[in-house]
Amino acid sequence: MKWLSPERLTRADITEKSDVWSFGILLYEMITLGSPPYPDLEPSQMPSKRQKNYRMERPALCGPLLFEIMTNCWQWEAPLRPCFTDVMKQLQKASAQADGQTPLTAADTLSWKEYLHVAGIAS
């Protein structure tokens, strides 16, 4: 549930825009070196928080340009999300402006069981 776009939660058809939402979640996982999305929420809290337009906070090592790309991917209304071509252009722009000096370090490690729970895959 934590990776699905709002329209996918209502069983609507899969579109490029629903995939863009999930891609934004993937970017979050990449910048946090595999942390599960929405780490501060229990899976049972997801539906009500998502309906209130809740978004994850910017990860510590995520620059503002990359976080802006993520939040653009997480627009509640699918038509407001960028297409993948625009996401690629935004990523190229952010890459050109990145300093390349900030090393990524993993957050506190989770056991596999803890990860599955936080990710909402297992109870």
Residue ranges and CATH numbers for the domains of the chain are 6-119 (1.10.510.10)
| Band (10; pLDDT cuts 50, 70, 90) | confident
Q: What gap in Å lies between CA 17 and CA 38, rounded to an integer?
A: 20
Question: Which of 9-34 are b and which e, b meaning 16 or more Cβ less than 10 Å from the residue's Cβ?
Answer: eeeeeeeebbbbbbbbbebbeebbee
118 φψ region: left (φ > 0), alpha (ψ -120 to 50), beta (else): alpha
| Band (36; pLDDT cuts 50, 70, 90) | confident
Of 51-55, 88-92, 116-120, which range is least confident? 116-120
pTM of the predicted model as reported, rounded to 2 decimal places: 0.76
